[in-house]
Amino acid sequence: MRNKKIKTFYTDKQVCFDSIKEKSFSQSPLKPALLIEKIKNGPYSELLDITADFEPIAKEDFEIAHSKEYIENVFNKTGNYASNGLPWSENLAKSLPYTSGSLYAASKFAIENPDFLCFAPISGMHHARPTAGSGFCTFSGQVIAAVKIYEQYGKSCAYLDLDGHYGNSIEDTRRFNPLLNIAIPEGCNYNPSGRNESYLASFKTNLSDLATHILADRIHYVVFAHGADSHDQDDLGGSLNTENWVKCAEIFAEWVNEISIKKNQPLPVVLALFGGYRKDNYEAVLNLHIKSLISCSNIICGNNFEDKLEIAEKIR
């Protein structure tokens, strides 16, 4: 039986409050705070059990996925520090060890306590490369967290990356750090494609492929990154209408339950945020993420939250 609340690894220290609202196309560095505040102060406050009790990753840990030169550039505002496409600030630099720290802590907790559904409210990772940032992503937190977990526990991970964009970080880092080939094996960074029905079919094919890896004990935990920019009203996305976007969370959650029964133990699961960029209505981005959390909580944790959230049509 799963714990009723989603164990959430969140601290204000993982948020960049400086210059994002005014100067950044991507609001993602601010999104964890906006989302957590909205959940805490609204009708779904019982969804999450939030802990800030986790460590930032050490500066050397960034070397798991990045060159020393690039890491120094980001922290010292030199060279290609702006390759992430975000306005640099000390606050941004200081938040980065905590975003990767949140994902690492959630992954570690999920492995040690598989009866908890875990949540790392993080974005801005899956386009980063060993020597540069890209597409609002600075460091490859998912590579760093997965390799650290592999080194510590010998456990391998799969990514179900439902962001609207292909998560290139993992493939782009395989040569830089070959340990990644065991931490997130080849073929286990899933990015469904297509639109609406064909997207759902692609996702289901991904899940049945992943099930074979899990049942063969090649994959031990899963990260579900339900990016809101795969929603068709997003400024940078557009594969799924609201019904089908939410359906992905339901399909995922039901699959988690099925695979847990087959394995006779709860599959360790970490939820993450990734993209979402609506300028006309950022509440819609937050509401999509909350809808996904509600579906996962109801189906995996056996809750009965009523999803009353509306996703407004985009003003074009």
Q: Would you tell me which residues interact with Zn ion (CB under 5 A)?
A: 163-165, 229, 275
Tell me the residue number closest to Zn ion, measured at CB: 275
Q: Which is nearer to Zn ion, 148 or 165 (CB)?
A: 165
Minimum distance, C-beta of residue 284 to Zn ion, in the bound complex (Å): 15
Q: Which is nearer to Zn ion, 59 or 279 (CB)?
A: 279
β-strand partners of 118: 7, 270
DSSP per residue, 54-95 = -PPPPGGGGGGTS-HHHHHHHHHT-TTGGGGSS---HHHHHH
Question: Which residue bears the tokens 């949540």?
Answer: 119
Helix, strand, coil proportions of the chain in percent (round to 5)? Answer: 45, 10, 40
Through-space distance between the first and last CA atoms of the chain, rounded to whole angstroms: 46
Q: Which is nearer to Zn ion, 25 or 88 (CB)?
A: 25
Minimum distance, C-beta of residue 165 to Zn ion, in the bound complex (Å): 4
Instruction: Return the ∠ at Cα 53 (arms to 67 and 151), rounded to 5°.
Output: 40
Minimum distance, C-beta of residue 303 to Zn ion, in the bound complex (Å): 28
Minimum distance, C-beta of residue 273 to Zn ion, in the bound complex (Å): 11
Q: How far is CA 124 from the centre of its chain?
A: 9
Q: Which is nearer to Zn ion, 135 or 266 (CB)?
A: 135
Q: Which is nearer to Zn ion, 108 or 231 (CB)?
A: 231
Minimum distance, C-beta of residue 239 to Zn ion, in the bound complex (Å): 11
Q: Is 290 helix (H, G, I), strand (E, B) or coil?
A: helix
Element housing 157 (H / E) = strand 157-161
